[in-house]
Amino acid sequence: MISASDLRKGVTFILDGELYRVVDYQHSYLGRGSARVRVTMKNLQTGATLERVFGADERIEEVRLELREVQYLYTDGYLYYFMDTETYEQPALSAEALGEKVYYLKEGLTLHISMHEGRPVEVELPVTADLEVTQTEPGIKGDTATGATKKATLETGLVVQVPLFVEEGDIVRVDTRTGEYLTRVKG
């Protein structure tokens, strides 16, 4: 058990039987009252984000998650299946639990999955993903203003802004934390 004043970004805990991760927090100290901690937290089962205020002396059950290396296999439209590279077990996560991370999952991708009591909770993506451009407008010759961009749809359905020289069939590197184009890998 930890006190609410020990909550920091990334801390995982159980509250009312649900698993949460701290997304953001803010300590506030009132003149004569006790300190309070305002926490923005993400429910790791449903993906919902909510805010709650704790008294600084409230006790919370901290949870340690087991990190396993997995390889992304496939999706059946609702569940996304992974294979543990050591045990060959195939844990699955729902699209709701993965959220925006589904746009970076490509068959064969190696990543890490967090497990709690043998159940998959969430995935940790690599910092970058290399994805193929499946649809984009052609760059207009002479339209060379500095920093000019256009929309491109990638093989996973992700839409990003890319420079005008990027064409369909090119492989681009995208930052999985921000969803931004980084560079053209192969074109």
For the chain, the domains span 2-62, 66-124, 129-186
User: Can you give the pTM of this predicted structure?
Assistant: 0.75
Which helix (H) or strand (E) segment holds residue 9: the answer is: none
Compare 31 and 144 and report the one with higher pLDDT.
31
Query: Can you list the positions of beta strands (E) in 44-96?
Result: 49-55, 59-62, 66-75, 79-84, 92-94
Q: What is the mean pLDDT of residues 141-160?
A: 81
- Reported CATH class of domain 2-62: mainly beta
Say if 66-124 and 129-186 have the same CATH topology.
yes
Among the ranges given (30-44, 103-117, 148-162), the one the predictor scored with the smallest mean pLDDT: 30-44
φ, ψ of residue 49 in degrees (nearest 5): -110, 135
Q: Which helix (H) or strand (E) holds 131?
A: strand 128-136
Write down the architecture of domain 66-124 according to CATH. Answer: Beta Barrel (2.40)
How many whole angstroms separate alpha carbon 92 and alpha carbon 74?
10
**Fold category of 129-186 in CATH:** OB fold (Dihydrolipoamide Acetyltransferase, E2P) (2.40.50)
What the block records as the tokens of 71 is 């390889």
Considering Cα of 48, then 54, then 56, then 58, what sign does the dihedral take? negative
Tens digit of each residue's pLDDT (9 = 90 or more) over 103-118 = 999 999 999 999 988 8
Q: What is the mean pLDDT of residues 64-72?
A: 92
What tokens were used for 112?
């890490």
Who's near 83: CB < 8 A, 6+ residues apart?
70, 71, 73, 89, 90
Q: What is the mean pLDDT of residues 60-81?
A: 91
